[in-house]
Amino acid sequence: MSTDDGDGADGTDGAEEVTAGRPDTIDTHRLEAFSDGVMAVIITIMAFDLKTPATADFHGLAGRWPALLVYLLSFTMIGIYWNNHHHLLRATRRIGGGVMWANLLLLFTLSLIPFATGWVGTAHGRSAPAATYGIVALGAALAFFALVRAILRANPDDAGLAAAVGRDVKGTASEVIYAVGIGLAFVSPYLAYACYVAVAVVWFVPDRRLTRAA
């Protein structure tokens, strides 16, 4: 019995060949799985960077609270991107080279979060780490915006997806708040952190537009 006959028996390979031959039905699961893996690694790196208290009492733990708080903020931020990225790709019917490069740009900016998180954790009262954290966060927001636009360009006939994205007022407002936070970092780092937390609170609930479109 030939190999071709065996592949046709279960229909799996045949279905993949049909899908691969139709550019309007490209499966986004591989891109989503790859992105999920990268985000999981980013969170793991941040967790490994957490240091135990120097002493075995709550006084030692108090000395680690800035690092724990910025870790919580960063974990929440990555979780928000993971959630919205999931719904965005599930609402997408086709992807192309532009989408894949935009997705890599998003993953690159997110991969910088452990660096910014570690710096803020060791020098939370200084302006440079606070501003750097905001720059990384703003970069991730702009990269996600670029990914959305790339997906819209790859799906010009998908009116439902375009309507779901809409004007993206919340996304634009988030970018503005990040920019304000970067400036405020040189006035008071804690005002900058308040801006970053505000964006996380706004996005804590998944974007319902994409949820309905998925």
* pLDDT tens sequence across 71-119: 999 999 999 999 999 888 888 888 888 999 999 999 999 999 999 999 9
pLDDT tier for residue 210 given thresholds of 50, 70 and 90: low
8 A C-beta contact, residue 95 and residue 153: no
Question: pLDDT tens across 110-122, in order?
Answer: 999 999 999 999 9
Structure-token pair, residue 74: 């960063």
Tell which wins on pLDDT, 5 or 35: 35
Question: pLDDT tens across 151-189, in order?
Answer: 988 888 877 777 777 778 888 999 999 999 999 999 999
Q: How is the chain split into domains, by residue range?
A: 27-213
Q: How far apart are CA 106 and CA 111, in angstroms?
A: 9
C-alpha distances in Å from residue 103, one per residue of 16, 43, 91, 148, 182: 23, 18, 15, 9, 24
Give the residue among 124, 36, 135 at the shortest CA–CA distance from 79.
Answer: 36
- Give the pLDDT score at 71: 95
Q: What is the pTM of this model?
A: 0.81
Determine how many CB atoms are found less than 10 A away from the CB of residue 26.
18
pLDDT tier for residue 150 given thresholds of 50, 70 and 90: very high
With H, G, I as helix, E, B as strand and everything else as coil, classify residue 95. Answer: coil
